[in-house]
Amino acid sequence: MTTEPSLSEGLATTRAIRRYTSEPVGEAVLAKVLHLASRAPSGSNRQPFRFVVLRDGPVSLRVRTLLAEGAEEIWTAKRATNEFPDRAKDSPTSRMLVAMDHYVANLAEAPVIVLPCMIRYREPTVTEGASIYPAVQNLLLGARAVGLGGAITMFHQVRDSEIRQALAIPDEAFIAATVTLGYPAGANGPVRRKPLDQLVFEEAWERAPAWAVDPPGTRFTGGPRPA
Amino acid sequence: MTTEPSLSEGLATTRAIRRYTSEPVGEAVLAKVLHLASRAPSGSNRQPFRFVVLRDGPVSLRVRTLLAEGAEEIWTAKRATNEFPDRAKDSPTSRMLVAMDHYVANLAEAPVIVLPCMIRYREPTVTEGASIYPAVQNLLLGARAVGLGGAITMFHQVRDSEIRQALAIPDEAFIAATVTLGYPAGANGPVRRKPLDQLVFEEAWERAPAWAVDPPGTRFTGGPRPA
């Protein structure tokens, strides 16, 4: 049992975890993670977020199979686009491809899968995600807080109608993500992002303020490094 | 200076903060909060999130005025709908109304305002928010980690084109939220949400599993309480 990180350490180091041990996730642990997810904000605090949990019931097993089919279909297509040019052995990209192959092949057996859903109360808008994805992020961070790891995928999308039917998800709700959870197998790699001066602007688009600097030791991905 | 909370405590207790002291937010503090925001996940780690920071530059002041106008317009309209029935003095609703009136009246003077934006790389989809709102939630949690408080609003929406023009936000990007930040004035109230058995389902929609129970002492909002 590792010590729980501080809030800032948790935010700085939570990353997608796609390999899990076979250790089952207990009900009290799951309840705690979902409680933390439900603390997220939503428009006018309407709380339109719902969490459909897939464990080992017969409907859950059926939906797991549909998700695994969807994962295989989406990942095979994505692999075929050759949008991953950096194939040097042991590069971040090659490690990601190996991890994704393993993840997709084992998706049906993920210890827990959560389908966060949002109940719509009006026509879709560009900002409706503001009432569901903060809760999805809290779900991943809450998982980290109890020692679990997780990953967001959209593997439900190619089996959406079959999954909705199996779980009796009503028309006014949509599945916002497929989140796998489990105890991490192996070590976590670092979180890599673009340098802050590519992401933070002041007074005008693409005008990075001088103070927009990451802490020492930050590791970056893509694009030019800051001077 | 209060001690930073643990990850789970931070998730459980971060709530909308709408009253700020006049203490300015330093650049190093802002950089840390935005660094934590940028650690959020996004689809294929494309990182389409950008953060336009409004402090006291001439363009920022102009945009602050536009946001305050938008806030006034939106809040006046919302107030007029009478969708807040619980008017007992000192009820949660009446306290929220007072807090919102104060927030709207003082919006232009919020210590810092951040406009998280998302750069689209394809046509809008129902799940595109998955690549921006986790970062918005990290922004609020990161603020909490350094002792700031914040709130998400959509007050830009009625002045969207003027704000985009002032900041030269390109067509392919959209403003996802208006987030105010500052040092909290006064005490934080509790986070209130629906009980977990209204939010968590297993095997079928609206079928709450027996284990979906909030921790002792949780305070709830709306709907029937669990037995």
Are A183 and A215 in a shared domain? no
Are A182 and A199 in a shared domain? no
In a domain, A200, yes or no: yes
In a domain, A115, yes or no: yes
92-111 in chain A: CB under 8 A from chain B: none
pLDDT above 90 for B224: no
Per-residue pLDDT at A90:
75
CATH classification of the domain holding A73 = 3.40.109.10
pLDDT above 60 for B15: yes
Express each pLDDT in A68-105 by its tens digit: 999 999 999 998 886 766 666 777 778 888 989 999 99
Q: Is A9 helix (H, G, I), strand (E, B) or coil?
A: helix
Domain count, chain A: 2
Are A170 and A121 in a shared domain? yes
Are A206 and A114 in a shared domain? no
Are A137 and A213 in a shared domain? no
Which chain B residue shows the shortest CA-CA distance from A171?
Answer: B205
What is the domain extent for residue A198? 194-227
pLDDT above 50 for B227: no
In a domain, A11, yes or no: yes
In a domain, B1, yes or no: no
Per-residue pLDDT at A87:
62
| pTM (two decimals) | 0.95
Which chain A residue shows the shortest CA-CA distance from B27?
Answer: A211
Amino acid, single-letter form, for residue B25: V
Are B176 and B204 in a shared domain? no
Is B61 near chain A, with CB under 8 Å? Answer: no
* CA–CA separation, A19 and A180 (whole Å): 10
Q: Would you state the structure tokens that stand for residue A122, as one six-digit string? A: 């009006």
Per-residue pLDDT at B184:
97
Express each pLDDT in B104-153 by its tens digit: 999 999 999 999 999 998 888 889 999 999 999 999 999 999 999 999 99
- Residue from A27, A39, A75 whose CB has the most chain B CBs within 10 Å, to mutate: A39
Which chain A residue shows the shortest CA-CA distance from B143?
Answer: A8
* CA–CA separation, B55 and B57 (whole Å): 6
Write down the ipTM of this complex: 0.94
pLDDT above 80 for B86: no
pLDDT above 50 for A50: yes
- Calculate ∠ Cα B39-B42-B43, nearest 5°: 155
Q: Would you state the structure tokens that stand for residue B138, as one six-digit string? A: 């990290």
In a domain, B2, yes or no: no
**% of chain B surpassing 70 pLDDT:** 93
Are B126 and B35 in a shared domain? yes
Q: How many contacts does A have with B, using Cβ atoms within 8 A?
A: 272
Per the prediction, chain B carries an average pLDDT of 92
Are A221 and A165 in a shared domain? no
> Is residue A155 within 8 Å of residue A76, measured between CB atoms?
no
Per-residue pLDDT at B189:
72
Torsion of CA A221, A107, A39, B71, to 10 degrees: 60
Which chain B residue shows the shortest CA-CA distance from A16?
Answer: B41
pLDDT above 70 for A225: no
Contact check, Cβ <8 Å, A196/B6: no
Per-residue pLDDT at B225:
40
Are A160 and A225 in a shared domain? no
> Is residue B115 within 8 Å of residue B52, measured between CB atoms?
yes
Are B116 and B206 in a shared domain? no
Contact check, Cβ <8 Å, B134/A132: no
Per-residue pLDDT at B165:
98
Per-residue pLDDT at B22:
96
Express each pLDDT in A117-166 by its tens digit: 999 988 888 899 999 999 999 999 999 999 999 999 999 999 999 999 99
Range in A53-57, B29-33, B98-102 the model is least confident about: B98-102
How many whole angstroms from its chain centre is CA B175?
13
Express each pLDDT in A13-40 by its tens digit: 999 999 999 999 999 999 999 999 999 9
Per-residue pLDDT at B226:
39
Are B214 and B137 in a shared domain? no
pLDDT above 60 for A224: no
Are B127 and B60 in a shared domain? yes
Q: What average pLDDT does this structure show over A197-223?
A: 93
Is B194 near chain A, with CB under 8 Å? Answer: yes
Per-residue pLDDT at B123:
84
For residue A27, which residues of chain B lie inside 8 Å, CB to CB? Answer: 209, 211
